[in-house]
Amino acid sequence: MQLFSFRVSVLLAMSAAAGSPQGGNVLYNGIRLPSQWPPTGIKLSHEPLPDPPYLASPPDIIPIDVGRQLFVDHFLIEETTLRRTFHQAEYFAGNPVLRPDRPWELRRDGGGGAMPFSDGVFYDPHDRLYKMWYLGLGATLYATSKDGIHWDKPKLDVEPGTNVVHRGNRDSSTVWLDLEESDPQRRYKFLYNPGNMRPMILHFSSDGIHWGQPVAQSMKVADRTTFFRNPFRKVWVYSIRDHTPGVISPQRTRRPGEHVRFRTYAESPNIAAGLQWKPVPWIGADRLDATRVDLNVRPELYNLDAVAYESVMVGLFSIWRGQFKDREKPNEIVAGFSRDGFHWYRPSRRAFIPVSARHGDWNHGNVQSAGGVCLLVGDRLFFYVSGRSRAPGVIGQNSTGLATIRRDGFVSMDAGAAEGTLTTRPVSFRGKRLFVNANTEAGELTVEVLDQKGRAIPAFSRSQCIPVRADNTAQEVSWKNADLSSLSGRPVRFRFYLRYGRLYAFWVSPDASGASYGYVGAGGPGFTGPTDTVGTGIYKHCCASEILH
């Protein structure tokens, strides 16, 4: 009964937070949206946008019942002596995991394409399969996998004997597996882009293979326009490519006809009705995005895909850094984070998933993200990306690669030989068990709980905490004679003491399994829906390290 009550209370809180997309609501994390939503009047320039308003004025008390709490910004931190480290994803050694090898994927010269151009990569818990939609030659194709590494291209009946699921000359398009959809005929959503300055066309499907007749279409739109789901507010977000000469970087000399790329934003609780959007300025590249010395042009924002992961929205920013005459443009992926779904915080502009500097590599140019952004596979996050290899003397092929990172591993708070501390802002919760994602195998982590006056609560003092000396993505922290249930609903602060270690995330769960009730990106083995309700139970379904090796 206690677990059921917790689940209901979290769902009710999230439902109330969703409210009307007109704004003014309090979100699951205590952030109050302004009455004008989405915000208008954003002035894009080559200067960075201000930090999100929720960082300048965080809530007095931050509810932490939804998801693991990540240190991707200072939203949760009142004070710390720990060092923040930003981590890059690591490419899988066996890349590419999908390459063009079918007649309908290959050109006569041997080049071809088998890559998500956004499209989508999701794990379907109903079929227990990884599913990928990708761009071939003038068509959308479909592949499946049991382990996320080895992919099959099934023979389907749309174009008998092939894995084509939709025929049509196209630009970037997006497929979304919607696990919150109540109508099984609309479980899969496909926004097809037939090319630059044409309407995008919406299709629904029950199986992701048979798409049926168009349901709705957008107004005319530039290429590389995409969409994603913001489940925290129950809205669909349209990430719209726009371009206006001189808006972002007026000082740069352009070739004739060249435009500056940036993004505009629209949202709707109804994906079809929302296609009649009235977008507002959103975000672009700025002077903090590095310029390549060999091209010497100011970067621009080529695309933005995003997904809900645990308690934040994770955005993958495809940054355009110029165009070579004899090879692909060297786009690469930079990570960003949002807690309200609109304002982004990009603390590190180093490529999260870079292009290769080695001539002829599958990802020598133009690495871009897939719709769905990331999957959670055991203790790793999986990122599928497109890579293009055209270069002098190389037949150009577009293929699909995999990059991975530790679960929650975007940012860590680190300490060396000298002990450091991190104290949170006041937080509230309904659970009773504290968990951390930390590597303290060579060191030690202890935690105490402070009251509203900053005093250690005796039963939860540091001296009562059992030290953590482990490398674990879901490690329970306990005290000798108490659990956190007595503090449920009370504003408290956590103070972490760390030596020789890294702290990636913390959360309070009602379950011994450590279930976080946060979102799990595009899913993964062991999860039964869009959120983590199983905790460490997923590890019996998957060991990412074994898959990758």
Per-residue model confidence as pLDDT tens digits over 308-324: 999 999 999 999 999 88
Amino acid at 296: N
549/433: higher pLDDT: 433
254/65: higher pLDDT: 65
What span, in angstroms and rounded, lies between the C-alpha atoms of 204 and 190? Answer: 6
Task: Grade residue 328 by pLDDT with cuts at 50, 70 and 90.
Answer: confident
Range of lowest pLDDT (16-20, 113-117, 437-441): 16-20
Q: Is the pLDDT of residue 3 over 60?
A: no
What span, in angstroms and rounded, lies between the C-alpha atoms of 186 and 208? Answer: 10
Coil vs helix vs strand at 103: helix
> Residue 13 is encoded by which pair of tokens?
């809180």
Range of lowest pLDDT (14-28, 38-52, 339-353, 355-369): 14-28
> Residue 412 is encoded by which pair of tokens?
């860590």
Q: How many Å separate Cα 120 from the centre of its chain?
A: 13
Give how far Cα 4 sits from Cα of 10, 326, 345, 533, Å.
10, 60, 35, 12
Q: Which of 433, 513, 439, 442 is nearest to 472 (CA)?
A: 439
pTM: 0.93
Q: How many CB atoms lie within 10 A of CB 512?
A: 11
Kindly report, residue by residue over 145-156, the tens digit of the pLDDT: 999 999 999 999
Q: Is the pLDDT of residue 276 over 50?
A: yes
Q: What is the pLDDT of residue 45?
A: 87
Q: How many Å separate Cα 31 from the centre of its chain?
A: 20
What span, in angstroms and rounded, lies between the C-alpha atoms of 203 and 213? Answer: 7
Question: What would the mean pLDDT of 330-336 be, rounded to a whole number?
Answer: 96
Q: Is the pLDDT of residue 542 over 80?
A: no
Task: Grade residue 21 by pLDDT with cuts at 50, 70 and 90.
Answer: very low
Pairing of strands 198-205, 501-509: unpaired
- Report the share of the chain in percent with pLDDT over 90: 81
What span, in angstroms and rounded, lies between the C-alpha atoms of 204 and 185? Answer: 7
**How far from each other are the two terminal CA atoms of the chain, in whole angstroms?**
42
Q: Is the pLDDT of residue 22 over 50?
A: no
Q: Is the pLDDT of residue 23 over 60?
A: no
Helix, strand, coil in percent for the chain, rounding step 5: 10, 40, 50
Residue-averaged pLDDT of the chain: 91
* All domains of the chain in start order, with CATH: 2-87+411-548 (no CATH), 90-249+258-406 (2.115.10.20)
> Residue 410 is encoded by which pair of tokens?
């975007």
Task: For residue 142, report the phi and psi dihedrals to the nearest 5 degrees.
Answer: -140, 135
Range of lowest pLDDT (162-166, 487-491, 509-513, 539-543): 539-543
Q: What is the pLDDT of residue 517?
A: 98
416/14: higher pLDDT: 416
What span, in angstroms and rounded, lies between the C-alpha atoms of 270 and 513? Answer: 35
What span, in angstroms and rounded, lies between the C-alpha atoms of 229 and 268? Answer: 10
What span, in angstroms and rounded, lies between the C-alpha atoms of 95 and 78? Answer: 42
Give strand pairing partners of 98. 400
Kindly report, residue by residue over 40-59, the tens digit of the pLDDT: 989 888 899 999 999 999 99
Q: Is the pLDDT of residue 2 over 60?
A: no
Task: Grade residue 110 by pLDDT with cuts at 50, 70 and 90.
Answer: confident
